[in-house]
Amino acid sequence: MVVVQTVLGPVAPEQLGPTLMHEHLIFGVPGWQDDPFITWDRPAVTDVVIAKVREAKGLGLGTLVDVTAIGVTRDIALMQEVARATGVAIVAATGWWVASGITSYFAEKAPEELARIMVYELTIGMKGSGARAGIIKVGTSLNEMHPAEMNVLRAAGRAQAETGCAITTHTTGATLGNEQLDVLTSSGARAERVIIGHSDDRLDLDYHRSLLERGAMVEFDHLGSRAPGAIPDEAKAHHIARLVAEGYAGQLLLSHDWVGDVVTLPGYGDLPQGQRSLGHLFSSFVPLLREAGVSNEAIETMVVANPARLLAF
C-alpha cells in the first residue's frame, strides 16, 4: 500500500487535506553556524513558526511540504516539534538545492553516491531523526546548470526510478525547466512525478505548455510574494485560469515558497517577505481564482488531489 511519509510517520494520502507543496520552516545557506556575528534563537523561532503554521491551519491547511534540502538548515527535529504542536502533517525533503547550497563534500560525489544517500533517507530515515523523507529536492541556477547541480539531478532520477518518490525542483527565474526534465527523465525519472518549481516567476504560456505537454507538474509557488518586481497575484490567477480551461488542472500545484525564518537575515520577520502569511493561498489567492472563473472542483484538484497523488509512494 502506498503511503505519504511525514516527519511523524506514514499517513494515508486521503488524510492530507489541503496541502502546500513548497514551503520552508527555516532556511540558511551553509557556513552560517561559524559566523561569530550571527546569533539565532531557536526556541523563539520555533514558537513563531508554530504560531504561523497554526494560523494557516485555521484557514484550512492540512499538510505542509518543507522542501528545505540537505545543507541549508534542514531541521527535522524542528519540523517534528511544529507538527506535534499544530496537528499539521509535515513532509521533509531529501536532496540538495543550487550550487551555493551544496557543500564541497557533496559537490565532489558522483551521482550514484548521491542517489544512495537519497534512497537511504527515503526508505530508512534521515540521519538521527527517526523519520523518512517524503520528497526529493533539486535545483538549478539562473540560465545555467552547474556540474554539482547536474550530479544532483542525475542522482534524483536514479532515486526516483528506485523508490517512485516525486521530485520537486527549484528553478531560478523560471529558467531551465525543460532542461531539468531532460536530465531527470534521461536518468530514470517519470515526467508525471516531476514538479517544476517557481514557474510563476515567468507567466509564459508557451513555456508552461511545453512542460505540461511532456506530462510534468507545473508549480505556481511564489503566491503572495512581496519581493521587488514580483508578478501580481491577480495576473497569476488569470494565467492559471487559462491553463485550467485548457484541461491542465491535474498538473498544477499552488504554494508560497514561504520561509518562517531566514537564519542569516536578522530581523527577517520584519521585512515585507518575512511578514507574509502562510495562509495566503486560502485567505486571498483562492478567492482570486474564483473571480477568474476557476471552479471549486479545479481548486480542490490543485490543492488536495494533486498533492495526495504525488506524495504517495
Percent of the chain with pLDDT over 70: 100
User: What mean pLDDT is predicted for residues 30-56?
Assistant: 95
Cα separation, 11 vs 230, whole angstroms = 36
Report helix angle 205-212 to 177-186, nearest 10. 10
Q: Report pLDDT for 128.
A: 85
pTM across the whole model: 0.97
In this model, does residue 203 exceed pLDDT 90?
yes
Which CA distances in Å does 118 have to 152, 159, 167, 237? 10, 6, 11, 35
Q: Report pLDDT for 119.
A: 98
Which CA distances in Å does 68 have to 3, 38, 174, 215, 294? 21, 20, 19, 25, 31
Of the candidate ranges 54-58, 102-106, 268-272, 292-296, the one whose mean pLDDT is the lowest: 268-272
Cell matching residue 64 = 505542509
Q: Report pLDDT for 1.
A: 80
Q: Report pLDDT for 266.
A: 86
pLDDT in tens, 101-121: 999 999 999 999 999 999 999
In this model, does residue 242 exceed pLDDT 90?
yes
Residue indicated by cell numbers 532542461: 179
Closest alpha carbon to 11 in 24, 1, 20: 1
Record: fold of 14-305: TIM Barrel (3.20.20)
Cα separation, 296 vs 270, whole angstroms = 34
Give me the helices (H) in the chain, please: 42-58, 76-86, 104-107, 111-123, 147-163, 177-186, 205-212, 233-245, 280, 286-291, 296-300, 306-311
Q: Report pLDDT for 217.
A: 98
The residues pairing with 65 across neighbouring beta strands, listed in sequence order, are 91
pLDDT in tens, 58-79: 999 999 999 999 999 999 999 9
Cα separation, 102 vs 13, whole angstroms = 31
pLDDT in tens, 74-94: 999 999 999 999 999 999 999
Of the candidate ranges 33-37, 178-182, 237-241, 245-249, the one whose mean pLDDT is the lowest: 33-37
Q: Report pLDDT for 90.
A: 98
Q: Provide the residue ranges of all domains of the chain, joining segments of one domain with +.
A: 14-305
Rounded to 5 degrees, φ, ψ at 65 are -100, 115
Query: What's the mean per-residue pLDDT of the chain?
Result: 97
pLDDT in tens, 133-186: 999 999 999 999 999 999 999 999 999 999 999 999 999 999 999 999 999 999
Cα separation, 38 vs 118, whole angstroms = 30
In this model, does residue 130 exceed pLDDT 90?
no
Q: Report pLDDT for 193.
A: 98
